[in-house]
Amino acid sequence: MARQNVFLEGILCVFLGSLVSSSVFGETWTRDEAKRIVKTAEEIRSLEKAEVAVNLKTTAGDKNTAYDMKVLRSTDRRAYLEFLTPQEERGRKMLAQGNNYWSTFPDSKRVVTISRREMIGNSAFAIADIFQMDSENDYDPEIKGKETRDGVPLLKLHLVAKHKDAPYAAIDYWVEEKGSFPVEARFYGLSGKHLKTMTVETRKQLGGRLRPEILKMVDEVTKGHVSWWKTVTMKAAEVPDHVFTKDYLRST
C-alpha cells in the first residue's frame, strides 16, 4: 500500500507540474493563463488586420533620422511597409509573409530576400517587431511573478523560443496585472545577451481602444542607438491578399 501511495503521489506531482506555470507568494498561474495574458497584451498593442500610419524616429550617435511609413497588416503574419519620407527612402517597401521576408529599394523594383531580424531603415526596430508575439507557435510563456511600478501592479512573464526561427531566443515581458496592458519588453539572443529593450512611453485611443502610441526601442548592443515608433493613426482594414505578394512589390 505504501508503494502504491508513493506511485500515486508521483503521478500527482507530474500532473501538477504540467498544470502550474509558476508560484509566487502563494499564487499560482497555469501556462494557459500566461498565453492568454500575452495574447491580450499583444491584441492591445496592435490590431491584427489594420492600416497604420507610422512616424519612426532614430538617434544613432550624432545622426538623427525620421521616416513616415504606411503599414498594412493582415492574418497569417502578413505585413506590407512602404516608406513615404524622407525623399531618399521614398518608394522603398518591405513585405512579410509568414516566416518569409523581402524588400525593395528606392527607385528599384528588384526584390531581395531579407531576414525577419532586418532593421526597419536604420532604426532599432526589426521587421519582426511589428507583429504580435505568438505564444502559440513561437514562444512558451511563463508568469514569473509580480512587481509594482509607480504604484501600478505588474505581472512579469518570461517567454522562451520554441524554435530557432523565432525572432528572439527569450523575452521578458511586463504587463499591467489589471487588463494586461503592455508596459515593457526585453529581448535576448541565444547566448542570453540582452539585445534590446522596448518600453511604452505614451498611450492613445487608436483603432477603437486605448493602445500604446509611442514605443521606445533601445539597442543594448550599440550604445546611443535609440528609436521611437509613433502610431499616428490606426484603423481596421481588410487588406486584399494580392498586396502581400512579391508581384505587388514589383508593381507599385
Q: What is the pLDDT of residues 205-229, one digit of tens each?
A: 999 999 999 999 999 999 999 999 9
24 vs 43, more confident:
43
pLDDT score of 116: 86
84 vs 21, more confident:
84
Mean pLDDT on 113-119? 91
Whether the CB-CB separation of 153 and 174 falls below 8 Å is answered with: no
All domains in the chain, ordered by first residue: 20-68+121-239 (2.50.20.10)
Q: For residue 80, count other CB atoms closer than 10 A to its CB.
A: 22
Whether 25 has a pLDDT exceeding 50, the answer reads no
pLDDT score of 34: 95
Per-residue burial over 171-198, b if 16 or more Cβ lie within 10 Å, else e, is bbbbbbeeebbbbbbbbbeeeeeebbbb
Q: What is the pLDDT of residues 156-207, one digit of tens each?
A: 999 999 999 899 999 999 999 999 999 999 999 999 999 999 999 999 999 9
144: pLDDT confidence band, cut at 50, 70 and 90? very high
Cell numbers for 244, please give them: 502581400
pLDDT score of 4: 46
Whether 233 has a pLDDT exceeding 90, the answer reads yes
Mean pLDDT on 36-40? 95
| Whole-angstrom distance, CA of residue 180 vs CA of residue 174 | 9
Give me the residue label for grid cell 494580392.
242
pTM: 0.86
pLDDT score of 134: 82
